[in-house]
Amino acid sequence: MEPGNNTGISEFLLWGFSEEPELQSFLFGLFLSMYLVTVSGNLLIILATITDSHLHTPMYFFLSNLSFVDISLATTTMPKMLVNIKTQIRVITYVGCLTQMYFFIVFAGLDDFLLAVMAYDRFMAICHPLNYTAIMNPQLCRLLVLGSWIMSALHSLLQSLMVLRLSFQNHLEIPHFFCDLDLMIHLSCSDTFLNEIVMYFAAGLLVFGPFTGIIYSYSKIFSSVRAISSAQGKYKAFSTCVSHLSVVSLFYGTLLGVYLSSTASPNAHSSATASVMYTVVTPMLNPFIYSLRNKEMMGAMKRFFGREGIKVSFLLGLRKCL
């Protein structure tokens, strides 16, 4: 098939995970369950932080934004994947592919930025507790989140515009369950040197930049915690960071695992399976990490369900009276 200009592309084909018929029902049930757990778990955190006045603090403001981003990241890829598994129609339009790629880059970048912002918040709370309330005021918190959105959106727009200049063969098969930027570039029949330069430069700047900020913040936190004389004080200071450290380790660990797996093995299905870790598993586990290891969050959820239970009982009683 002769290469065609990108304006002539009508659709792509997403391979997904497996074409074996006996596995389709299992895969559909597995990923549907994971998606529902991801959405419900993160939505509970958002509702708890909004409705409970005890959680109206910078840390939980950033956490609710992270939960929204995790829902959005999973929703960018999983519904389309579930439809493809159920119907065995793996077609995605050219516009749909670019749209999915744009929003995936936006929300993946936001995850990265918000984790760095949350590390900065913990740094201020532990290393500068007397000035914490004055520095981490609502205006600064909103500016940090807004800046994260702007940086992620601009980065994604740049990468999407760079892909628009590429040419592809018609009905190109993508060996993945979503439209991944790296695969889109390498499957193009155009000269992709400029795209690769921009992609790797942006990755180095926008991934390792926030990661460096996280490392710096925690190096200062560890120094401050070591200076605390009492063991109870050390435990109390460090316990506020355990959940965030767990999420950071999970996020960057899965990213590193995907990179190493794609480098070590040219098998596209192995790369797609590894990508499930940071696109599906990480957003699903974040609510459990922050809930099970956080007494304030557990208390807020109990109060939330308690209020909802009272409302339901009241409505049922009112219906009986009527």
The answer to whether residue 313 is domain-embedded is no
Q: Are 138 and 278 in contact (CB under 8 A)?
A: no
The two tokens of residue 321 are: 């009276």
- For residue 318, is pLDDT > 50? no
Task: Tell whether 310 is covered by a domain.
Answer: no
pLDDT tens profile 41-62? 999 999 988 988 888 899 999 9
Does 39 reside within a domain?
A: yes
* DSSP states along 262-301: HHH---HHHHHHHHHIIIIIHHHHHHHHHHHT-HHHHHHH
CATH number at 202 reads 1.20.1070.10
What confidence category does residue 109 fall into, taking pLDDT thresholds of 50, 70 and 90?
A: very high
Question: How many domains in the chain?
Answer: 1
Instruction: Please check whether residue 308 lies inside any domain of the structure.
Output: no
Q: Is residue 320 part of a domain?
A: no
List, in order, residues 6 or more apart from 148 with CB less than 8 Å away: 110, 113, 114, 117
Computed from CA positions of residues 315, 56, 287, 206, in that sequence, does the dihedral angle turn out positive or negative?
Answer: positive
Containing structural domain, residue 93: 10-300
Amino acid identity, residue 114? L
Cα separation, 301 vs 65, whole angstroms: 17
Question: What's the pLDDT band for 174 if we cut at 50, 70, 90?
Answer: confident
Q: Is residue 44 part of a domain?
A: yes
Tell me the C-alpha to C-alpha distance, in Å, between residue 244 and each of 187, 198, 253. Answer: 37, 30, 14
Q: Residue 180: phi, psi to the nearest 5?
A: -90, 140
Above 90 in pLDDT, residue 252? Answer: no
At 137-167, the pLDDT tens digits run: 999 999 999 999 999 999 999 999 999 988 8
- Assess if residue 305 is contained within a domain: no
At 171 the pLDDT is 62
Q: What is the pTM of this model?
A: 0.87
Average pLDDT over residues 265-287: 75
Which residue would you say has higher pLDDT here, 112 or 236? 112
Q: Is residue 256 a part of any domain in this protein?
A: yes
Q: How far apart (Å, rounded) are the C-alpha atoms in residues 81 and 15?
A: 10
Q: Are 183 and 176 in contact (CB under 8 A)?
A: yes
pLDDT reading at 278 higher than 60: yes
At 123 the pLDDT is 94
Longest dimension (CA), the chain: 74
